[in-house]
Amino acid sequence: MCYKRYDACVKSRTITQRELRNDSGAILREVEAGRTVIVSRNGTPVGELRPIRRRRFVSRAAIADAAATAVRIDAGRFRADIDAVVDPHADG
């Protein structure tokens, strides 16, 4: 089985609650390797085990470089563009 998530095909398989209990180590290794596992009870899907996206560290220098080369914007013009689309005095 394959379904779309984050513009990519994610391979998954369905297992029973008993399989999860008996083979949890092997199943978690599959998840760690990138596979999504759907857990079912009495034939009904009840949960999904999927890999967690790892956080990536971005150095302060990389952020400073990106800011230094970013396009400069005029704050007043930006605000005027926003106000032209969204009513700044609307309640809610």
Q: 69-72, long-range: CB within 8 Å, 24+ apart, which pairs? A: none
The predicted model gives 12-22 an average pLDDT of 95
What is the pLDDT, as a whole number, of residue 57?
87
pLDDT at 92 over 60: no
pLDDT of residue 7: 47
Q: Which residue has the tokens 């952020």?
A: 63
Grade residue 18 by pLDDT with cuts at 50, 70 and 90. very high
pLDDT at res. 87: 79
Alpha carbon 58 to its chain's center: 18
Q: What is the pLDDT of residues 54-75, one digit of tens each?
A: 778 889 999 999 999 998 899 9
The CATH number of domain 2-49 is 3.40.1620: yes
Task: Tell me the C-alpha distance between 58 and 51, whole Å.
Answer: 21
Q: Where are the domains of the chain?
A: 2-49
Relative to beta strand 2-5, strand 36-41 is: unpaired
DSSP 15-35: EEHHHHHHSHHHHHHHHHTT-
